């Protein structure tokens, strides 16, 4: 089994965890961490906006952005596929 090596930041977080011994404390910790990352995301969005990377038109473009695999994917007819393979290798 591989050994996990923690860096200094991870070790510090583990040391701090000793005081979180109630469900309320864990809930508060989760909220604090969530707030921290929300603040960092907001700061980055503000920076992108200030630098002109993020614009009103790009934000509006997100409304119609679809990056999923289309649902109407045509499926291969297995019989036709096998017949084609057979004809190529016969």
Q: Taking a C-beta distance cutoff of 8 angstroms, is the pair 33, 25 a contact?
A: no
Q: What is the pLDDT of residues 30-63, one digit of tens each?
A: 999 999 999 999 999 999 999 999 999 998 988 8
Cα 46 to Cα 50: distance, rounded to the nearest angstrom: 6
Which long-range contacts (C-beta less than 8 Å, at least 24 apart) are formed by 26-29? Answer: none
Residue 87 binned pLDDT confidence (cut-offs 50, 70, 90): confident
pLDDT at 2: 84
Residues 6+ apart with CB under 8 A from 6: 14
The proportion of the chain whose per-residue pLDDT surpasses 70, expressed as a percent, equals 90
Q: What is the pLDDT of residue 41?
A: 96
* 90 pLDDT more than 70: no
Q: What is the pLDDT of residue 83?
A: 79
Which residue carries 């993020």 as its tokens?
A: 54
Summary mean pLDDT of the chain: 85
């Amino acid at each position: 089994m591989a050994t996990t090596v923690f860096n200094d930041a991870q070790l510090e977080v583990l040391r701090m965890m000793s005081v979180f011994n109630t469900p309320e404390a864990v809930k508060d910790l989760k909220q604090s961490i969530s707030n921290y990352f929300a603040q960092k995301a907001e700061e980055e969005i503000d920076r992108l906006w200030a630098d002109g990377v993020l614009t009103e038109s790009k934000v509006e473009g997100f409304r119609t952005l679809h990056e999923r695999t289309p649902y109407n994917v045509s499926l291969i007819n297995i019989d036709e596929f096998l017949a084609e393979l057979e004809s190529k290798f016969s």
